[in-house]
Structure 1
């Protein structure tokens, strides 16, 4: 947003003796004006966006009284204009390649960011009659498709709960709707009928293992490939990487690019030197069908000469603003299809009773309610008496954190549990906490939340003091090694898992008791970067003031939710901003089955220094002064 001051105001702008702008004093001096600018923007008084061909028909006080399909069409047209406007020519050209928006399109999957979401809300306020009501600030996040948004606008305009003044009751209604949808999705995707597939061979333990991996183009999947490749020296296996690509050559290129980006030279050499019998990079589409887009000939060839089949599903959209609905078509349906593909390969290899399917989930699926509430079916107690989240499968959808990503993981876990219970075939769920850079190269996925937060030190010159936060981060290479420990145990007792019927649940998380405090991270980073330490609220204000400089603007709304209400003197935390001690996550079963997890090193200054160096080499961070 831009507000032009008159020339006469130039002499009043606070400046230092050298003539440079005194940013802090300027913020204080113009605080009332800045507040008014934001209020005018949010209430639709500082934006003008009227679709071409709009008329005053049906208008009330200059605003349009639209409903049903007309309102959906108006929203689609308005959103398309906002998506197509602004930015450089390259960005505009790229947007023109996007698929057209429909009534059921998830706007954030379609590329809408936080700024565009705010503009959509402002345009609605300016042009649509709402009976004097205002929409909640997060309305586009809470109703992320044009159809859902239109329905909500009608409810608000008719005086039903849901406007800015109905915060808690409206949120409770939305949560109840999402919880019902979670249970419906579990039912929809949990049918696993008997397969009409006979073995094309007699499976035996002397044959090599078939390892099917997804997500190898991501950080965890790349390190998982590296770990499996290293252990294949003792127990040969055929590794199959299922990759979203147009053909096998492009799939192989994507895998190599990922391994190179994670600085895994031995795995790069292995893929480049291997014949098709050892490593296969196949173009796949998990959402396409129960064969995941593979041909019948490919399916026949995969299991030839193989015994046990191990499938690890490490591919999932990391989208913290998308709705639960946005995960159904690609992720949830894709999970069921991959399970069916795994079952078919195991049956063809004659090893259904010895094969295993592992799903990589997130602790976000259980962090929506404290472990002592009635929504959790079991409670662990740490050695010091603290409550802890158990390695179990809660039956209530209320246990998932209130965002589409966490809810989709809850759904996926229950689909996996249904699969294991219905068929008696091997299946497990691996819940991960926060992963970080690997211990060797210091490479950390630059699109993740913590790296993006740390980069704001470069962008606005400050970082927040999160006094309750601890660096309970697990290096990604340790996480990958732990998966292999658990899906390829040296003995059955090593992988007993948590008590969830016949489906083991594992928590692959760092030991919180050994984790350094957030203050240590700020100290370590200050030796590598120049920045100011500020309260979480002040940090949010600085981000909002310089929003155009923030490359991760899509994270701003999430950061507002987590930190804007934190005390002005600091003390905020992503896990607790109230001062309450966050509950621990029990990992005793995972630690019992994984030597890698038991010996996992805590995050220290050496790892942070290595990580900052890697970010500078990639250009993610600027060079040191």
Structure 2
């Protein structure tokens, strides 16, 4: 594309420094307002609940607390959200396979599907045993966290409130629909997150009073902070340290709300567990196809292009992340009421360039590497022209625009020193290497989530070389065709079959070789009088040579012809010897008869 086009793209995407500063101030105010609003919401509602129940349940509150404490010591009762999503499904699978605990799953309400049906569908999607969903230890409930009582009946709410001891909650990675991606107004995106996730988490915190609360957050909430490695602790409420999208901002908002209210709600313990980028399952290769990287790979398969940029990858397989989270949740060795853990790959990181090398050299992908700015321009043009699916690829467009506009020179990684000392699972994490990447690419291909239909050449020289290669190949084919002509009409018949002449030719192509094969057997059997096995081998060889592929090289044909002639010569010699022996035999028989008569 021309340089003018790139310049116009730069002008369109860039803002003046004072405009960027003003936008950042507005975003910071919006984030602080949301934190204050929902912190106040929790405190007001918790006070109201406590006042309403103080007269009628004062005596029973103590017994409930004691019961929960005893239950906590003997066995946890879990409440899990997000179990139909990538990480949540892995956590549920681990809890079902490796514990006898009762698990309540709050599943987003759907009119046409029961909660267990939704869970089974997720298990099938991620390669788990869906029969586990029928386990008696799993209780799945239709829910809407943003509604009063979490969208449950009052009876259900009160019942599970008395039984649950440990809540595991996360909003995980959410793909916002194209109507939000197309609109650069972050206010609209945050309104969506507030209505669907921030309010829902506030309601869940009210439910979790006097219980354990484990919040699964993300590196996205602190990726652009003033640190090379994010400390395993509480971080400041600054919108500028996030990825700048709704997901990263919402995680930071929820972390702050949790810290503001945990003591007020008398939460027994609090864990904030930040994860780095999740990658595929280390055993099966399964990856959520709508995650950012699979979307990027799918686009590369369609367009034959992929962006290059500077990035270190500390991706962790989702199954290792899920096991680490469960291990941190079930531990009773708490150092304080509030702890922050980081779940990330402890092995040496690789760069994005290394990852692309693995995709090409080990996984067999073919694509053109282009600068991120140029790739964005082509992607945006493809979406505008209707070449790509708008909903998915606009997500890529908005994400990498933010990446390009990011002023931070170093994108932080998670410090995991403390977390490694608290769970042994991280030490078993495989590195992001050829084996893991190839496993994932194979899964994407086998499930139809990676269709490689384009691989454009990178340069004009390559285009020219491809044309020359094609031309040379054509010349070579023509030369071979001139040198290796069909040896008889039977071979012409074979060529007509390959060219799909018609069904009658297909029939003749099968029957004529068989007729020749048995005809040769009959002749040899009557003339040579050898064993049937030897005759069959000779006849089969003759028929095979007659129908040898015309596309073989001339040398192969010559060799086959020479061998055939040698075999024919050998057969003729054997026939002459046989005939001579037969004549001599007859003469000896006549001589013996004469001798016998003379003796008599």
Shorter-chain TM-score range: 0.5 to 0.7
Paired with 1:359 and 1:518, the residues of 2 have a C-alpha distance of: 29
Higher Cα Rg, which structure? 2
Q: 1:589 to 1:463 in 2, by over 3 A?
A: same
Give me the CA root mean square deviation: 3.0
Return the match for 1:428 from 271, 276, 301: 271
Paired with 1:174 and 1:503, the residues of 2 have a C-alpha distance of: 33
Partner of 1:326: 192
Paired with 2:427 and 2:33, the residues of 1 have a C-alpha distance of: 38
Partner of 2:480: none
User: Contact (CA 8 Å) 1:429, 1:506: kept in 2 or not?
Assistant: yes
Q: 1:539 to 1:555 in 2, by over 3 A?
A: same
Return the match for 1:461 from 298, 304, 310: 304
Paired with 1:288 and 1:189, the residues of 2 have a C-alpha distance of: 14
Offset from partner CA, 1:16-63 (integer Å, 9 cap, x none): xxxxxxxxxxx45xx66x679x78xx9xxxxxxxxxxxxxxxxxxxxx
Return the match for 2:398 from 558, 561, 583: 558
Paired with 1:419 and 1:319, the residues of 2 have a C-alpha distance of: 28
Q: Which moved more, 1:334-343 or 1:205-214?
A: 205-214
> 2:127 is paired with a residue of what secondary structure?
coil
Offset from partner CA, 1:502-527 (integer Å, 9 cap, x none): 4211121223x612222332222224
Partner of 2:88: 221
Partner of 1:161: none
The two structures have a TM-score, normalised by structure 1, of 0.61
Q: 1:271 to 1:404 in 2, by over 3 A?
A: closer
Paired with 2:400 and 2:243, the residues of 1 have a C-alpha distance of: 16
Return the match for 1:484 from 317, 323, 326: 326
Confirm or deny that 1:298 pairs with 2:298.
Answer: no
Q: 1:460 to 1:171 in 2, by over 3 A?
A: same
Query: Per-residue deviation at 1:434?
Result: 0.6
Partner of 1:315: 171
Q: For 1:76-475, what aligned pairs fall within 5 Å after superposition?
A: 137=12, 167-190=16-39, 191-192=42-43, 193-194=46-47, 195=50, 196=53, 198-199=60-61, 202-203=67-68, 204-205=70-71, 208-232=75-99, 236-246=100-110, 250-265=114-129, 268-272=130-134, 274-275=135-136, 278-289=137-148, 291-302=149-160, 306=163, 309-316=165-172, 318-319=174-175, 321=181, 323-343=189-209, 352=210, 355-371=211-227, 387-397=228-238, 398-425=240-267, 426-466=269-309, 468-475=310-317
Offset from partner CA, 1:155-199 (integer Å, 9 cap, x none): xxxxxxxxx8x6322222222122122222222212333533645
User: Contact (CA 8 Å) 1:248, 1:283: kept in 2 or not?
Assistant: no
Q: Which runs of 5+ in 2 are unaligned?
A: 455-600
Query: Per-residue deviation at 1:297?
Result: 2.1
Query: Per-residue deviation at 1:417?
Result: 0.9
Q: 1:534 to 1:249 in 2, by over 3 A?
A: closer
Q: Which runs of 5+ in 1 are unaligned?
A: 1-26, 43-135, 139-163, 344-351, 372-386, 566-573
Q: For 1:16-31, what aligned pairs fall within 5 Å after superposition?
A: 27-28=1-2
Q: Which moved more, 1:445-454 or 1:548-557?
A: 548-557
Q: 1:411 to 1:581 in 2, by over 3 A?
A: closer
Query: Per-residue deviation at 1:543?
Result: 2.5
Confirm or deny that 1:531 pairs with 2:367.
Answer: yes
The two structures have a TM-score, normalised by structure 2, of 0.64
Partner of 1:152: none
User: Contact (CA 8 Å) 1:464, 1:534: kept in 2 or not?
Assistant: yes
Confirm or deny that 1:588 pairs with 2:417.
Answer: yes
Confirm or deny that 1:514 pairs with 2:514.
Answer: no
Aligned length, in residue pairs: 418
User: Contact (CA 8 Å) 1:210, 1:310: kept in 2 or not?
Assistant: yes
> 1:402 is paired with a residue of what secondary structure?
coil
User: Contact (CA 8 Å) 1:460, 1:542: kept in 2 or not?
Assistant: no
Q: 1:247 to 1:537 in 2, by over 3 A?
A: closer
> 1:263 is paired with a residue of what secondary structure?
coil
Offset from partner CA, 1:542-578 (integer Å, 9 cap, x none): 434533333333124325525668xxxxxxxx997xx
> 1:429 is paired with a residue of what secondary structure?
strand
User: Contact (CA 8 Å) 1:292, 1:337: kept in 2 or not?
Assistant: yes
